[in-house]
Amino acid sequence: MASIFTRIVLGEIPAIKIYEDDATLAFMDISPASRGHTLVITKAEHADLIGMPAELVAQVARTVQHVAQAIHTALAPDGINIIQNNGAAAGQTVFHYHVHIIPRWEGDAVLKLWAPQTVASVELQEIADRIRAGLR
């Protein structure tokens, strides 16, 4: 079954569109975290970042920047969160690649993504070694 975002791309479900090109679509989030919360999706259905072609990742990044610049101009927020979740454990609920652009203003509700913690440098080095090995 097609994701809700694919159904939006196909025109089966309405959306308030902001921007569209051959590969991406930006539209207003219907359950916004803040005024101006916008989603950028791939038109092709990809579950997450991990399996996507690099060219498509780059196209999404260009669209995210373009739309974020427009949000910055139009709404003058004090900051903007760019959030992208991969997998249920990371908070992904729609398994169709998408990026959240969330305008932020001083004093608005805090969006906490993690609680900073202290880690020994030897552990950081071990993890870095494992990640570097995965790059080969």
Q: How many CB atoms lie within 10 A of CB 122?
A: 8
Q: Summarize pLDDT for 104-117 with one digit per residue, the tens.
A: 999 887 777 777 88
The alpha helices in 45-120, defined as continuous H runs, are 54-75
Catalytic residues: 98
Question: Which residues, 6 or more positions from 52, have their beta carbon under 8 angstroms from its beta carbon?
Answer: 42, 46, 97
Question: Which has the closest alpha carbon to 66: 16, 15, 9, 19?
Answer: 19
Query: Residue 65 above 90 pLDDT?
Result: yes
Determine the pLDDT at residue 69. Answer: 97
Round to whole Å and give the CA distance between 113 and 48.
19
Determine the pLDDT at residue 115. Answer: 73
Query: Residue 9 above 80 pLDDT?
Result: yes
